[in-house]
């Protein structure tokens, strides 16, 4: 008989194989998770909303189907970020405005996951409306980094990352505008992928053509990440930007053995300060490709307009999605959200025109760059995990930032290029904190990105570092 501890430490790919072979059931996994959450989550606050009754009802319906009809996840449990609606489950968005809100219908991304055999058992913690890369809010409080619970878990998919790192999840859903899948992956020693636009269908909100934020997968290793991306991918008529599922699957692609011929490493993309220890760790990881016969050169595309462009488009997005909340519930919004909405409302059409033109130029340069390089590698975050009491990173390596999100430039610049990007665990600091390497590929080249990440993961001695028990 398999112990709960053996289940918790298993990979998602292994568990799916066992589910389809009939060796275990989704109920075994839910039971193991419920016990693990009971013993661990009080120390880190990653999964503040649980829905195990709903999960077991769904698992029961799934078990009534033939194995071949249970989907690629075959009953694997998946937590959903608390920005995203799950029917019948409290969905707060980390805001006092929605602290008691229970949606009647699930977001498309949840519908898709459940149709593909995912079983939703929890909502993961997020900062208010996902704003700011430090997971805390007035509804549930802060999520703590399990490598040192005095430190930030980053965000905004911080609850999801911590659940993975502590064995309270094998797979997790998240979202990413300015690094919200990649930053917490780096801070917590797991893998997070921001996919290409349209790769994961989701319910449009406020505008059909919002293209800064995407939904994406998080996992403990690259193969598990590919498994979840397959289950999340596919077109949906209610999301006009969504793409068909790929053939071959991402899991097949990650096992293809594809190897890049030439990769670029940039310590800073030419636009941001970076902690020297983070630079050194990520550079060493990138240079591991050289032992595989891959050419590694220091280079990056020209992304010099990224700060101005992202600040404008982010403010515009906040204005179109949150202006009504500013008018009706200003006193319940955190100051960073109020500031961002007001920045958006103050924009002129000329500002938006300029930002859109800048983004077009950034995308064109990125595509041209990938005519020379198969992958671009950078630090996934510019700092190591910082004290939980600091709302955001105010400065790095002697450079002070102009806004609460400017420290995220190394990831939000890539957001603007429409390229898929992931954070891969690549080493540890002298104090034992994880560091992530951002790996970037051309638009819609997730297959090559995942294969390259698996190749590097195999050469680094960090896989299997999680799950861990929280440390003080």
Catalytic residues: 81, 156, 180
Mind giving me the DSSP string for 184-207? Answer: HHHHHT-EEEEPPTTSB----BSB
Q: Which residues contact 183 (CB under 8 A, 6 or more apart)?
A: 133, 154, 155, 380, 381, 408, 411, 423
Which tokens hold the place of 111?
């519908």
Rounded CA gap, 106 and 2, in Å?
34
First to last CA, the chain: 33
| Cβ atoms of 79 and 123 closer than 8 Å | yes
Which tokens hold the place of 391?
């709302």
Mind giving me the DSSP string for 24-71? Answer: S-HHHHHHHHHHHHHHHHHHH----EE-HHHHHHHHHHHHTS-GGGS-
The C-alpha angle 23, 222, 113, rounded to 5 degrees, equals 60
In this structure, which long-range contacts are made by residues 324-329, counting pairs with CB atoms below 8 Å and at least 24 apart in sequence?
325/97, 329/97
Rounded CA gap, 268 and 168, in Å?
33
β-bridge partners, 124: 81
| Cβ atoms of 405 and 179 closer than 8 Å | no
* 205 C-beta neighbours (distance < 10 Å), count: 13
CA distances (Å), origin 140, targets 93, 95, 365: 11, 9, 42
- What dihedral do alpha carbons 41, 43, 44, 49 form, nearest 10°? 30
């Amino acid at each position: 008989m398999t112990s709960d501890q053996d289940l918790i430490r298993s990979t998602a790919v292994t568990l799916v194989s066992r589910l389809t072979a009939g060796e275990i059931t989704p109920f075994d996994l839910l039971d193991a998770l419920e016990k693990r959450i009971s013993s661990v989550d009080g120390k880190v606050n990653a999964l503040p909303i649980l829905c195990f009754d709903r999960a077991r009802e769904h698992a029961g319906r799934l078990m009534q189907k033939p194995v071949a009809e249970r989907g690629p996840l075959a009953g694997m449990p998946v937590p959903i970020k608390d920005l995203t609606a799950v029917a019948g489950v409290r969905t707060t968005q980390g805001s006092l405005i929605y602290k008691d809100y229970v949606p009647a219908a699930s977001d498309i991304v949840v519908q898709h996951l459940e149709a593909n055999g995912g079983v939703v058992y929890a909502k993961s913690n997020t900062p208010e409306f996902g704003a700011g890369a430090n997971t805390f809010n007035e509804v549930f409080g802060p999520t703590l980094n399990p490598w040192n619970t005095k430190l930030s878990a980053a965000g905004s998919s911080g609850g999801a990352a911590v659940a993975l790192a502590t064995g309270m999840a094998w797979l997790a859903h998240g979202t990413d505008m300015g690094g919200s899948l990649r930053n917490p992956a780096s801070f917590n020693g797991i893998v997070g992928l921001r996919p290409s636009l349209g790769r994961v269908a989701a319910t449009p909100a406020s505008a059909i053509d919002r293209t800064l934020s995407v939904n994406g997968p998080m996992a403990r290793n690259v193969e598990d990440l590919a498994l979840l991306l397959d289950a999340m991918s596919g077109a949906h008529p209610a999301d006009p930007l969504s793409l068909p599922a790929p053939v071959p699957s991402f899991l097949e692609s990650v096992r293809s053995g594809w190897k890049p011929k030439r990769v670029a490493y940039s310590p800073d993309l030419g636009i941001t300060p970076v902690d020297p220890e983070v630079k050194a760790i990520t550079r060493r990881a990138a240079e591991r490709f050289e032992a595989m016969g891959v050419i590694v050169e220091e280079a990056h595309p020209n992304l010099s307009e990224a700060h101005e462009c992202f600040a404008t488009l982010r403010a515009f997005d906040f204005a179109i999605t949150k202006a009504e909340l500013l008018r009706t519930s200003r006193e319940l919004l955190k100051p960073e959200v109020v500031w961002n909405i007001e920045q958006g409302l103050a924009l002129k059409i000329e500002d938006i025109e300029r930002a859109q033109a800048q983004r077009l130029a950034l995308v064109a340069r990125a595509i041209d760059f990938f005519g020379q390089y198969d992958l671009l590698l950078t630090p996934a975050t510019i700092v190591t995990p910082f004290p939980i009491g600091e709302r955001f990173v105010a400065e790095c390596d002697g450079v002070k930032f102009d806004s609460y999100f400017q420290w995220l430039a190394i990831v939000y610049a890539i957001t603007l290029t429409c390229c898929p990007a992931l954070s891969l665990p690549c080493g540890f600091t002298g104090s034992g904190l994880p560091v992530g390497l951002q790996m970037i590929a051309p638009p819609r080249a997730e297959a090559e990105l995942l294969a390259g990440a698996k190749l590097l993961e195999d050469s680094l001695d960090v896989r299997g570092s999680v799950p861990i028990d929280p440390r003080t």
